[in-house]
């Protein structure tokens, strides 16, 4: 009996702490685990801005995102990725869905394979027009906790892991929430690298099957900065436009106008190609100047 107790104790010590973390077993459970409704009480402006953003519905998007997740499952994971081991939705594991969910739902790390399967099915059904499936997907998204906790620290051997019940921002102190009681300073909250974690460098080489979605951060680093650019993502997409946590991009006319300056000049003349062959010709010159911090368009 004593030996058995020692064995059990040894096993408990040997197991990583993460093994004890409770994982969500359904979309509803994961939504509950990452519930941010209490944020609205003290931060109504930020909450309402965020609610209207694509971040809030990051599994559905325009709804092009939902259709892309659906085709990734149907045409990629279950068909073209012949070594994925997935023939059916029930074979899907979290690691397969990371192709999309690494960025579109980082909280998937706290969910079981069943949730990955539920999301895969809902994306397929939703893309086929099932409104209930779409509603289900809209329960999850890139919310306050993703940027202000999960993704608030990049260099974890330098800065440590994000603390579970802390809200990361630009200050330290107490936070008036019954669950998230601490306010911690994120070293990158106002830096482009925060956004760069998901807005892409190119192929995601960290995945077993690298996918390529956004490439904006790569363009920011290798084209915008060398061109003399000095603004951060947050400056253009949150501050200067005064649109805060809505963080608009191409679908916002003000953001679009600011991103590309177009000048058009036109003149006409009789062009003489050869003697007696005078051709009435208009010359239209279009100058497209990009003021954005990345390639336009991305894709």
Q: Which stretch, 11-19, 120-128, 143-151, 283-291, contacts another protein (CB under 8 A)?
A: 283-291
Residue 245: closest CA among 113, 147, 127: 147
Q: Beta strands of 148-274 (E only): which ranges? A: 166-169, 173-174, 182-185, 260-274
Find the helix packing angle between 192-199 and 94-104, rounded to 10°.
140
Q: Which is nearer to another protein, 136 or 294 (CB)?
A: 294
CB of 126 to another protein, least distance (A): 16
Per the listing, tokens 């306050």 go with 144
Q: Which of 58, 99, 107, 149 binds another protein (CB under 8 A)?
A: 99
CB of 297 to another protein, least distance (A): 6
Residue 62: closest CA among 278, 292, 249, 281: 249
Q: Which stretch, 43-51, 115-123, 183-191, 221-229, contacts another protein (CB under 8 A)?
A: 221-229
Residues 6 or more apart whose CB falls under 8 angstroms from that of 16 comprise none
3 state SS of 271: strand
Contact 244, 262 (CB under 8 A): no
Write the binding mask 174 to 213 for another protein: x where contact by CB under 8 A, - elsewhere: ----------------------------xx-----xxxxx
Interaction of residue 80 with another protein, rule CB under 8 A: yes
Interaction of residue 229 with another protein, rule CB under 8 A: yes
Q: Which is nearer to another protein, 181 or 281 (CB)?
A: 281
Residue 162: closest CA among 143, 184, 133: 184
Q: Which stretch, 18-26, 139-147, 171-179, 226-234, contacts another protein (CB under 8 A)?
A: 226-234
Alpha-carbon dihedral sign for residues 142, 147, 152, 154: positive
Rounded CA gap, 254 and 10, in Å?
Answer: 61
Q: Which is nearer to another protein, 47 or 217 (CB)?
A: 217
Contact 295, 219 (CB under 8 A): yes
Write the binding mask 241 to 260 for another protein: x where contact by CB under 8 A, - elsewhere: ---------xx-x--xx-xx
Copy the structure tokens of residue 136: 């289900």
Torsion of CA 169, 170, 171, 175, to 10 degrees: -20
Q: Which is nearer to another protein, 33 or 221 (CB)?
A: 221
CB of 73 to another protein, least distance (A): 9
Q: Which is nearer to another protein, 68 or 112 (CB)?
A: 68
Cα 198 to chain centroid distance, Å, stands at 5
Interaction of residue 16 with another protein, rule CB under 8 A: no
Q: Which of 64, 87, 90, 179 binds another protein (CB under 8 A)?
A: 64
73: left (phi over 0), alpha (psi -120 to 50) or beta: alpha
Q: Which of 13, 174, 264, 275 binds another protein (CB under 8 A)?
A: 264
Q: Which of 106, 141, 248, 293 binds another protein (CB under 8 A)?
A: 293
Residues 6 or more apart whose CB falls under 8 angstroms from that of 180 comprise 149, 165, 166, 167
> Footprint of another protein on this chain (CB under 8 A)?
62, 64, 68, 71-72, 75-77, 80-81, 99-100, 202-203, 209-213, 215, 219-220, 223-224, 227-229, 250-251, 253, 256-257, 259-260, 262, 264, 266-270, 276, 278-299
């Amino acid at each position: 009996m004593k030996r058995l107790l020692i064995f059990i104790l040894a096993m408990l010590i040997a197991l990583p702490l993460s093994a004890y973390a409770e994982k969500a077993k359904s979309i509803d459970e994961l939504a509950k685990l990452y519930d941010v409704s209490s944020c609205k009480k003290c931060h109504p402006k930020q909450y309402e801005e965020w609610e209207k953003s694509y971040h809030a519905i990051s599994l559905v998007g325009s709804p092009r995102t939902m259709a892309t997740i659906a085709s990734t499952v149907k045409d990629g994971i279950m068909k073209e990725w012949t070594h994925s081991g997935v023939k059916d939705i029930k074979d899907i594991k979290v690691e397969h869905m990371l192709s999309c969910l690494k960025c579109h739902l980082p909280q998937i790390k706290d969910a079981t394979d069943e949730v990955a399967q539920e999301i895969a099915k809902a994306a397929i059904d939703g893309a086929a027009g099932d409104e209930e499936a779409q509603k289900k997907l809209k329960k999850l998204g890139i919310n306050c906790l993703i940027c202000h906790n999960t993704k608030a620290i990049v260099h974890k051997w330098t800065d440590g892991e994000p603390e579970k019940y802390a809200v990361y921002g630009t200050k330290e102190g107490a936070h008036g929430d019954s669950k998230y009681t601490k306010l911690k300073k994120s070293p990158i909250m106002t830096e482009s690298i925060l956004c760069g974690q998901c807005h892409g460098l190119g192929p995601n080489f960290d995945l077993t099957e690298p996918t390529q979605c956004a490439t904006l951060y790569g363009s920011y680093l290798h084209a915008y900065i060398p061109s003399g650019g000095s603004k951060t993502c947050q400056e253009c997409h949150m501050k200067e436009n005064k649109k805060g946590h809505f963080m608009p991009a191409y679908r916002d006319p003000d953001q679009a106008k600011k991103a590309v300056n177009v000048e058009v000049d036109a003149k006409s003349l009789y062009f003489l190609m050869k003697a007696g062959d005078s051709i009435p010709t208009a010359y239209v010159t279009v100058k497209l100047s990009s003021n954005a911090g990345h390639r336009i368009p991305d894709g």
